[in-house]
Amino acid sequence: MNGYPRQHAGRSPSPATPADSASPPSLRDHPEFPPLRHAFRAFGATAAALVVGGFLLYVLLSGFAPGLMNQPLAGHLTLGLALGLAQFGLMALAVWRYTAHMSRRVDPVARRLRSERDRARPGDRPRPAQQRWPRA
């Protein structure tokens, strides 16, 4: 074992090698990592489903209800054009909520885990600032 308790029973432990005994614990085995990954993926999937669902609704209405989409709202503005422009608003809303969620729920935990990782390896050089969270 790497020093942290295993979180996923379905994942079999890798056989111990001499290199494993000298290496610090993996961040993936840290008890705070699975909730962090879940928060990252769940909100991303929800935001993507909302944006793609809105676009799919727009495309389906354009294809199967052209009479509805051609209803004039004001001057040359039709319902279809208004819904098409609303796609930009929906995308902006999803991006805004995603960044707010990441700043509030994911980034603080990720920073804390990075600092723990860096304290666990005092002899190593610090990683460049532009490198992001390791892939899961």
> Mean pLDDT of residues grouped by 10 in the chain (136 residues)?
53 52 66 80 87 94 95 94 94 91 85 81 59 58
Q: Which amino acid type is present at position 130?
A: Q
| pTM metric for this prediction | 0.59
Structure tokens at 61: 């209405």
Predicted confidence (pLDDT) per residue in 60-80, tens digit: 999 999 999 999 999 999 999
